[in-house]
Amino acid sequence: MVGLILIVAMSAVLLLFISRFVYIAASGHVGSVNLTNKTEQKYSQNQVIKAKRGTIYDVSGNVLAEDSSVYSIYAVLDQNYNSTSGKSLHVTDKEKTARVLSKYLPLSSAQILTYLNKKNQFQIEFGSAGKNLSLATKKKIEAENLSGIQFTDTSSRLYPNGTFASHIIGLAQLETPEGKKATDTTDDAKEKLTGILGIEKYFNKSLTGTDGSEYSKRDSFGYELPNTKIVTKKPKNGSSIYLTLDSRLQAYLETLMQSVQDKYKPKKINAVLMNAKTGKIIAASQRPTFNASTKDGIGSMWRDSLVEDVYEPGSVFKVLTMSAAIDAGTYKPNEYYKSGSVEVDDRTLYDWDRSGWGWIPYSQALPRSSNVGMVKIEEQLGQKRFAKYLKKFQVGEKTGITLPGEVAGSLDLKSPVTQATTAFGQGVNVTVMQMMKYLSAVANNGEMVEPQIVDHTVSSSGKSTSYETKVAGHPIKASTAKSVRKLMEQVVYADYGTGGSYQIPGYRVAAKTGTAQVAGTNGQYLTGENNYVFSVAGMVPADDPEYICYVTVQQPTITPPSESALMSGIFNPLMKRALKYESSDTKTATNSISMPKLTDQTAKAATKTAEDKGLVVSQVGSGSKVVQQLPAADEKVIKGQRVVLLTEGAMTMPDVIGWSKNDVLKLAEITGRNFKITGTGYATSQSLLAGDVIPNSDEVTIKLKEP
């Protein structure tokens, strides 16, 4: 009887289970859980295909910032993880693996072995020691052929020039997308390269692009399930940004500025070279700065002081006061005034030489940089007209340059004293880029142009968008601008001028020097011989300027032999180099040619084709057939430019002595090998002899030096 009851009970339970399974099979649900969807999720993989962040170039197409990768290493420990052919995909020899990895990771063999001996782990990582590995280190480890050692790559940003317009180009770093948590493991929440400074930040949306995706079905070991399709949505890469910077002049400026920084140790230096007619910034930098490649120095100055820092410009601002008076017709060059000091309300204002120069004509006020002369010229102009002209120059307004964080500055004309001090550049706050804009009106015959740092952009589809010159206004007449430049020439060439150190042989220079007091935290001006912002603004050639150069040096720690020693070491050689390049570029502009396609030809035939076009050819490789070329086919090149050809066979080192930095970078790019480039200018030595095979792992050092 008991047995019968048990049989009936077991039959009932079995019937219940069968009914339940039938229901689940028919409905596809367990409670509120959809089993079909669960199965789909388990075997489906929706992998993000990352878009490539756009590259930042200089005006000639030299790379300033581009996508790169860093790598993290991990070890597979599960002994069941093998390929379909039975090859081991897990660590098989832990002692050997630990010993070999200790050569490349900052861990001892014993420490690595501790990681490898962990139980019940499918795979393990090696903490921070196994992250942020370079491509060179990854290749070295891969060459050891260690079973079970794998890598994951993480997007990174490469800045090949190091300290090079760092605050302008900016930085991009990995950040978790807004609205997502760092602990979220979904693909759309993973860290992405995000611009946090400079052009990288301002154009972050354009540079970022749109990720694609790959949908597939795979088993628990990652193998694709049979009879399934892979659905791919291609990524849309970010746009490329071409700046107006000329790498040749930018690199030279960095060298000049560092020399002044090392010699006099000022708190701050700013320097800008701009095309007077277009507003295009050709070279610009600041100190303190940082190395964008290593991040060394980033903590000392986060701001782009060219657009984010305001200061009192001092005597260079007198150019605007003089422009207003001449344009309004109130300037009386042949009348005399008593220099030295002047009373304004209850204040006594002084010339930089407090004893003055006696009675002098107003025509000498600007060349001598007389504060008293400017105060009297402003009084003759009148407050309303002075304010009108400053408004026409857009003083206290942003320039609109495509850099983040730009500030507007300030202007105070509420009292006779502030009007008077503004006339000689104290009490008014400007940025460096605002000064470049104001000066362009004088250099460009009354037409004021906006400073421009971006030349054009190119989308992933190839659409090019140019940034044309923007005219900001016409604050003065052309005749006024010419008259002001004549006075600025006297600054440089008259025996009473303050800028004799800025003469450049073969050219007439129009310039204005400046010395402005630095305001302290208590609102009072600091005292002491070095508590000033020393500056010079120059235009060359004076009769029809092509370039404007503006240099400011604040509070040198080491007293210079003269104020001009601070700025002339930057201004003069930079302007000379720019004028030299302009002459050279004008001559070679007519020699522009389209780069021929040389790949798939024999090395001999390709060399002849290139040389017949007037190009210089260097071959890398021991083979006879060209497999890669730089520059690429159809690029615009200049006769005399170097072409690097890569052939099949062993990669052999060419003789790079005399090569430019850009040529060496071509070599590094086409070979994919690890090159270390030091200095600026042209190659003077190479650590690997010409004809030797370029190693896959060891670094090749190329030293450059200015001619």
CATH code for the domain of 480: 3.40.710.10
Quote the tokens at residue 694. Answer: 């370029």
Same domain (yes/no): 567, 601: no
Same domain (yes/no): 651, 532: no
Same domain (yes/no): 231, 256: no
Domain-located, residue 398:
yes
Domain-located, residue 107:
yes
What average pLDDT does the segment 645-671 reach?
Answer: 85
Domain boundary, last residue among 226, 243, 260: 243
pLDDT at 527: 83
Same domain (yes/no): 295, 388: yes
Question: Residues 364-411: pLDDT tens digits?
Answer: 999 999 999 999 999 999 999 999 999 999 999 999 999 999 999 999
| pLDDT band with cut points at 50, 70 and 90 for residue 572 | very high
Same domain (yes/no): 236, 110: yes
Which residues face 553 on adjacent strands?
269, 534
CA 91, chain centre distance (Å): 43
Same domain (yes/no): 639, 667: yes
Q: Are 474 and 446 in contact (CB under 8 A)?
A: yes
Tell me the H-state helices in 162-211: 166-169, 198-202, 204-208
**677 vs 316: which has the higher pLDDT:** 316
Q: Is the pLDDT of residue 189 over 70?
A: no
Domain-located, residue 522:
no
pLDDT at 497: 96
Task: Name the DSSP letter for residue 526.
Answer: P
Q: What's the domain count of the chain?
A: 4
Q: Is 173 exposed, middle or buried (0-12, 13-18, 19+ CB in 10 A)?
A: middle
3-state secondary structure 538-570: EEECCCCCCEEEEEEEEEECCCCCCHHHHHHHH
pLDDT at 331: 97
pLDDT at 99: 93
Domain-located, residue 39:
no
For helices 432-443 and 478-493, what crossing angle results, to 10°? 110
Residue 533 identity: V
Domain-located, residue 41:
no
Which residues face 705 on adjacent strands?
682
Q: Is the pLDDT of residue 240 over 70?
A: yes
Domain-located, residue 366:
yes
Token match 């010079």: residue?
Answer: 536
Burial 527-561 (b: 16+ CB within 10 A, else e): eeebbbbbbbbbbbbbeebbbbbbbbbbbbeeebe
- Tell me the residue range of the domain where 97 lies: 47-243
pLDDT at 184: 45
660 flagged as catalytic: no
Domain-located, residue 407:
yes
pLDDT at 187: 46
Same domain (yes/no): 165, 280: no
Quote the tokens at residue 645. Answer: 């050809």
- The count of other CB atoms within 10 Å of the CB of residue 395 is 24
Same domain (yes/no): 27, 86: no
Question: Residues 196-208: pLDDT tens digits?
Answer: 999 999 999 999 9
Domain-located, residue 124:
yes
Same domain (yes/no): 379, 426: yes
Same domain (yes/no): 135, 209: yes
Same domain (yes/no): 381, 273: yes
pLDDT at 445: 97
Q: Is the pLDDT of residue 325 over 60?
A: yes
Q: What CATH number is associated with residue 95?
A: 3.90.1310.10
- Phi and psi for 262 in degrees, rounded to 5? -70, -35
Q: What CATH number is associated with residue 661?
A: 3.30.10.20
CA 582, chain centre distance (Å): 24
**48 vs 237: which has the higher pLDDT:** 237
Q: Is the pLDDT of residue 635 over 80?
A: no
| pLDDT band with cut points at 50, 70 and 90 for residue 186 | very low
Question: Residues 99-130: pLDDT tens digits?
Answer: 999 999 888 999 999 999 998 888 999 988 88
Domain boundary, last residue among 228, 243, 258: 243
What average pLDDT does the segment 333-360 reach?
Answer: 96
Same domain (yes/no): 374, 321: yes
- Among 155, 166, 315, 501, which one carries the catalytic annotation? 315
Domain boundary, last residue among 587, 615, 634: 587
